[in-house]
Structure formats: structure tokens, C-alpha cells
């Protein structure tokens, strides 16, 4: 019998510490390769760590709520296997790391979670399309990972067979109090989609409560500044007091965008993919960046670095705080690929499973404050970027068309820029280009 020591790994981007959130095993439990041992929170996101060993849990050395450094031993696992078993287990370690929380990216060159080399052929659960990863997980869950459906045992639909739904959809249904077994599925393969859950929900969003809670008994609540909240605070202070912000605003007739979104939703090409005005906004920004590349820059004391590619950040409000994951190489994506990537990014962020790699190396950001009913705002730049655009709510207002006042769908677009890099004329032209696409999406076809 041997004892293996599992240490806290560097899950990417040079993070040096993390907090133990919840243990998924207990002393005496038998564990297998790929089985989730523990959930940790880094400065970026929640991450599930899989077991690289087969055996029986010995000691749990770090209690939940404890902040520890990378390299700290957190658990021991006793193994009774022989050398052959050990060799077979070692060959699966990289797979376990790559599958952790579905958050570790699959592109060549990424770090393996537990610090071992990946096999020559890395199995993947993502579909491929035209050589590019389509950001849709298959409906089959990862082996050795269990997902609790939101269907009670007494549900009349529970006996009709398993409900097809992706893990993020199951999480959304649980948050909204929706019984998946009672939801009419409209997905391409009979699966429950996000729209199906929202239609069946008694509330519109996981971030809006129908009932107003009573005042707590405690007069003060003290929340430690750590993890994601600490990272947010540091990044916002750095950005606000380092980069001189300049902000611009423009009102836009978005009626044609709303009509375009409606046509896309009815298109068979976009069946099963969420389509919203944010998709058109994202495409508009990519187009405008190509025409005004300075807004896609970063400023250093020695030079201005203009990026001729777009890693498009999407500011996401999650239960654990604001994060900004980004869509890598968005400039090369078709409208359908961009829609798929946006949906996957949003659902992963709301589920708290965004990986550190997904938040790194962004070039420009969108913040969609319209989903909260806000008309506009003055967004703070994501640190290291020179531009951020805020999309306000789209609603009907009186608008003058051909000399007549008509009801049109109108939105306000706000934007902030690093004035060290972006001059007023460039900022104005960029925002005008974005507005022109929102007013007439057909320009995207040029």
C-alpha cells in the first residue's frame, strides 16, 4: 500500500493561491480517476479538481473556507494497486485535468491542470465545425461526473425516461425552481433549451427575486474581501486611477436589429442557439474595430500595442461577482459561431465555471446593462484594454422617421476609452460605426 499526496495545482494564468470551497469526498471514500475531489475558488472563478489517483481517501488536510498557496498538500489517497494499475492511472491523469468542470480549455499549448503532460491525442467532448471549436457541449455528461436533475421523484414525467439537458440548463432550472420533467423540450435532439426553461419559469432571471426578504436580525454583515471580489476591487481601482477615461453616448434606432434578430430566431440555421441583440452588438464591435484598430489597443509606459485580432470580452454578472470572460479570435467567427460562443460563455459564467484562461488576454469588452433595464452608463475599462461599450435597454420610444413621429425600438450606446491611446475623433468614429450596424445590420454583409 502506498500513500499519494495531492497538492493544490496552478490551474492557469500564474495564480498563486485559492480557497477551499467544498469537499466532494470524505475520509474512507473510494475514488477513481476523473472523480471530482474538491471545489476551489481562485481570483477568477470556481474550479473543480479531479482525482489523478485511484484509491481510498485518507486525510483531508485543509478545511473549507481556508485560503492556501499553490503546492500545499490538501488530501492524501491510499492506493492498493500494483505497478500496472499505477501506470494505467497515470495515463489518464491529463484527461482528468482537461475535463475539470468543463473549464480547462482544449487548445494546444494550454497547461494541464495537475501539472503533467497531456497525451498525444486529447479526447474532447466539444464538437468541431470548420476547424474551429463550436462552443456547445454535447448532451452526454462527462464520465464520472454526476449532475443532479431538477426533477423530483414524484414528477409525472420522471418515469418517461431521462431528461436531455446540458448541465448549465439543469443549473438554471434548479435556480428558477423549474421541474425539468414538466418542461416542453424544443431542442434539435429533443433536449431542453435555455428558452424552454425561461418560458416555464415563474421569474424572468436568476438575478431578480419576486419576493422582498425581511431585514436580517444582524445589523451588520461582514463579508471577507477575497477571491473574485478581491480581484474585482483591485482591477477596478487599477483601471480607474491609471487610465484617464473619456466617455461618449449615442441614441440609436435599433428597430432593424430587432427585426434581424427575429429572422435569425426563425432560421433553421440558428435552431437551438440563443440569439439576442447582444449578438448583433458583438458583430458590430468586431466590424468597427477593424475600421478603427486603435480602440483595440493596450498602453504601456514604453509603447502602445495595437492588436489586430479581437478577444471579445463579455462582462458577466454572476452570483459570485462580475467577471469578464472573452471569446478568443472572435474576428474569424461567423455569425452562427459567434452566437454559439456567446451562449456557452454566458451559461458557463452564470454557473461559476469560467476558467482563468477564459478571462485572460481580452482586447475589448461589451457590458450589456440593458438586461437590467438600464438605459446607459459610464463603464470602467477592463484593465489592460482601451475600450469598453455599454449596450442599454432596447425599448419602444417616439422617434422621428421621414419627418413623422413613429414608435421605434431605441437604445442608448455608451462607451469609455483610454484617452492616452484613443483620441476623441477615433472614439467618435468607432462609436458611430457601431451605431450604424445597430441601425442597419445589413451593413454586416458588405
Q: How confident is the model at residue 304 (pLDDT cuts 50, 70, 90)?
A: very high
Q: Which of 72-76, 206-210, 242-246, 357-361 has the lowest mean pLDDT?
A: 206-210
Contact 157, 182 (CB under 8 A): yes
- Rounded CA-CA distance 277/339 in Å is 10
158-200 has CATH 3.30.450.20 classification: no
Spatial neighbors of 326 by CB under 8 A, at least 6 apart, are 311, 312, 313, 314, 358, 359, 361, 362, 363, 365
CB atoms within 10 A of CB 330: 23
Rounded average pLDDT over 189-200: 81
What's the predicted TM-score (pTM) here? 0.60
pLDDT tens, 340-393? Answer: 999 999 888 877 788 888 888 999 999 999 988 899 999 999 989 999 999 999
Residue 262 has pLDDT above 50, yes or no: yes
pLDDT value of position 181: 81
Q: How confident is the model at residue 13 (pLDDT cuts 50, 70, 90)?
A: low
- DSSP summary character for residue 213: P
pLDDT value of position 143: 39
Tell me the fold of 2-125.
Answer: OB fold (Dihydrolipoamide Acetyltransferase, E2P) (2.40.50)
pLDDT value of position 238: 85
pLDDT value of position 446: 57
Place of cell 509603447: 303
Q: How confident is the model at residue 211 (pLDDT cuts 50, 70, 90)?
A: low
Active site residues: 419
pLDDT value of position 98: 41
Residue 120 has pLDDT above 60, yes or no: no
Q: How confident is the model at residue 161 (pLDDT cuts 50, 70, 90)?
A: low
- Cell output for 20: 477551499
**Which of 152-161, 232-241, 267-276 is predicted most confidently?**
267-276
CB atoms within 10 A of CB 300: 8
Partner residues linked to 341 by β-bridges: none
pLDDT value of position 440: 95
Q: Which residue has the higher pLDDT, 439 or 231?
A: 439
Q: What percent of the chain has pLDDT over 90?
A: 42
For CATH 2.40.50.100, the residue range(s) in the chain are: 2-125
Mean pLDDT for the chain? 79
Residue 409 belongs to what H/E stretch?
A: strand 404-418
Tell me the fold of 243-445.
Answer: Chloramphenicol Acetyltransferase (3.30.559)
Q: Which of 76-80, 223-227, 271-275 has the lowest mean pLDDT?
A: 223-227
Q: What percent of the chain has pLDDT over 70?
A: 77
Q: Which of 82-86, 308-312, 358-362 has the lowest mean pLDDT?
A: 82-86
For CATH 3.30.559.10, the residue range(s) in the chain are: 243-445
Q: How confident is the model at residue 158 (pLDDT cuts 50, 70, 90)?
A: very low
Amino acid at each position: 500500500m502506498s500513500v499519494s499526496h495531492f497538492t493544490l495545482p496552478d490551474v492557469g494564468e500564474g495564480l498563486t493561491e485559492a480557497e477551499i470551497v467544498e469537499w466532494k469526498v470524505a475520509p474512507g471514500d473510494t475514488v477513481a480517476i476523473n472523480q471530482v475531489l474538491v471545489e476551489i475558488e481562485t481570483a477568477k472563478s470556481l474550479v473543480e479538481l479531479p482525482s489523478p489517483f485511484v484509491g481510498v481517501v485518507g486525510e483531508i488536510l485543509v478545511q473549507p473556507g481556508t485560503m492556501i498557496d499553490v503546492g500545499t498538500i490538501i488530501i492524501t489517497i491510499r492506493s492498493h494497486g500494483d505497478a500496472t494499475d499505477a501506470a494505467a492511472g497515470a495515463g489518464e491523469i491529463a484527461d482528468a485535468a482537461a475535463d475539470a468542470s468543463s473549464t480547462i480549455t482544449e487548445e494546444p499549448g494550454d497547461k494541464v491542470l495537475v501539472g503533467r503532460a497531456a497525451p498525444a491525442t486529447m479526447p474532447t467532448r466539444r464538437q468541431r465545425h470548420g476547424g474551429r471549436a463550436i462552443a456547445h457541449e454535447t448532451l452526454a455528461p462527462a464520465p464520472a461526473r454526476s449532475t443532479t436533475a431538477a426533477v423530483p421523484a414524484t414528477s409525472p414525467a420522471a418515469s418517461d425516461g431521462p431528461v436531455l439537458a446540458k448541465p448549465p440548463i439543469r443549473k438554471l432550472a434548479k435556480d428558477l425552481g423549474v421541474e425539468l420533467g414538466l418542461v416542453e423540450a424544443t431542442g434539435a435532439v429533443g433536449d431542453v433549451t435555455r428558452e424552454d426553461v425561461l418560458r416555464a419559469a415563474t421569474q424572468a432571471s436568476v438575478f431578480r427575486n419576486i419576493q422582498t426578504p425581511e431585514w436580517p436580525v444582524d445589523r451588520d454583515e461582514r463579508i471577507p474581501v477575497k477571491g473574485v471580489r478581491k480581484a474585482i476591487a483591485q482591477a477596478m481601482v487599477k483601471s480607474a486611477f491609471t487610465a484617464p477615461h473619456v466617455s461618449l453616448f449615442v441614441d440609436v434606432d435599433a428597430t432593424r436589429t430587432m427585426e434581424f434578430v427575429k429572422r435569425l430566431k426563425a432560421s433553421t440555421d440558428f435552431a437551438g442557439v440563443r440569439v439576442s441583440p447582444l449578438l448583433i452588438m458583438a458583430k458590430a464591435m468586431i466590424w468597427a474595430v477593424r475600421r478603427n484598430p486603435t480602440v483595440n489597443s493596450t498602453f504601456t509606459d514604453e509603447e502602445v500595442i495595437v492588436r489586430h485580432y479581437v478577444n471579445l470580452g463579455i462582462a458577466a454578472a454572476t452570483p459570485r461577482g462580475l467577471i469578464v470572460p472573452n471569446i478568443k479570435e472572435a474576428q474569424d467567427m461567423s455569425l452562427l459561431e459567434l452566437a454559439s460562443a456567446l451562449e456557452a460563455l454566458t451559461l458557463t459564467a452564470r454557473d461559476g465555471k469560467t476558467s482563468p484562461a477564459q478571462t485572460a488576454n481580452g482586447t475589448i469588452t461589451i457590458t450589456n446593462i440593458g438586461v437590467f433595464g438600464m438605459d446607459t452608463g459610464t463603464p470602467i475599462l477592463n484593465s489592460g484594454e482601451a475600450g469598453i461599450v455599454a449596450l442599454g435597454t432596447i425599448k419602444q420610444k417616439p422617434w422621428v422617421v421621414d419627418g413623422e413621429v413613429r414608435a421605434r425600438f431605441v437604445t442608448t450606446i455608451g462607451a469609455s476609452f483610454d484617452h492616452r491611446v484613443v483620441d476623441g475623433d477615433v472614439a467618435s468614429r468607432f462609436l458611430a460605426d457601431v451605431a450604424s450596424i445597430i441601425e442597419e445590420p445589413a451593413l454586416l454583409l458588405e
